[in-house]
């Protein structure tokens, strides 16, 4: 039981590190350090592999149809959450946050459409 709890925490930590390393890679690139940017990008991908392995070990990954259905629900929820977050950000005068909630909401909408299309393709094979 303790191992599973540690694995859950490790999954969360690895997942957070992916984002941090990607953001830091972008920052290094913006500051004109392409080799460091590339190195940090590769570290981010290592962390992504670690997180993915823990996700699988923890049973978070099912068959493809179930995975797609689960993530479709997640994308629908995330899209709504981003809309609400954008509203709150603009109300509080945080223009940068507002802009990014808006633009990333469009990404979620695109993810939703892509997952729906993949599910339809799977259905056609039945
Ligand atoms: Fe790691
Ligand atoms: Fe998404």
Domain with residue 22: its CATH number is: 1.20.1260.10
Question: Residue 104 C-alpha to ligand 2 middle, in angstroms?
Answer: 8
Same domain, yes or no: 105 and 84: yes
Could you tell me the pTM of the whole model?
Answer: 0.86
Q: Rounded to an integer, what distance in angstroms lies between the CA atom of residue 35 and that of residue 22?
A: 14
Same domain, yes or no: 51 and 69: no
Half-sphere exposure of 118 (CA within 13 A, CB side): 15
Structural domain that includes position 116: 64-125
Q: What is the pLDDT of residues 7-64, one digit of tens each?
A: 999 999 999 999 999 999 999 999 999 999 999 999 999 999 999 999 999 999 999 9
Same domain, yes or no: 46 and 69: no
Same domain, yes or no: 83 and 119: yes
Domain count, the chain: 2
Ligand 2 (ion): residues with CB under 5 Å are: 75, 108, 111
Q: Are 86 and 98 in contact (CB under 8 A)?
A: yes
Kindly give, in sequence order, each residue whose CB lies less than 8 Å from that of residue 22, ignoring residues fewer than 6 positions away: 40, 41, 44
Same domain, yes or no: 44 and 79: no
């Amino acid at each position: 039981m303790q191992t599973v709890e540690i694995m859950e925490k490790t999954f969360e930590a690895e997942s957070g590190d992916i984002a941090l390393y990607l953001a830091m890679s972008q920052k290094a690139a913006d500051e004109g350090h392409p080799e460091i940017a590339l190195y940090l990008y590769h570290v981010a991908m290592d962390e992504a592999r670690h997180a993915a392995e823990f996700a699988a070990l923890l049973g978070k990954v099912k068959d493809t149809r179930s995975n797609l259905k689960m993530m479709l629900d997640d994308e629908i929820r995330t899209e709504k959450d981003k809309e609400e977050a954008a509203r709150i950000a603009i109300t509080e005068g945080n223009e940068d946050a507002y802009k990014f909630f808006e633009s990333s909401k469009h990404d979620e909408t695109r993810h939703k459409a892509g997952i729906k299309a993949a599910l339809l393709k799977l259905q056609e094979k039945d």
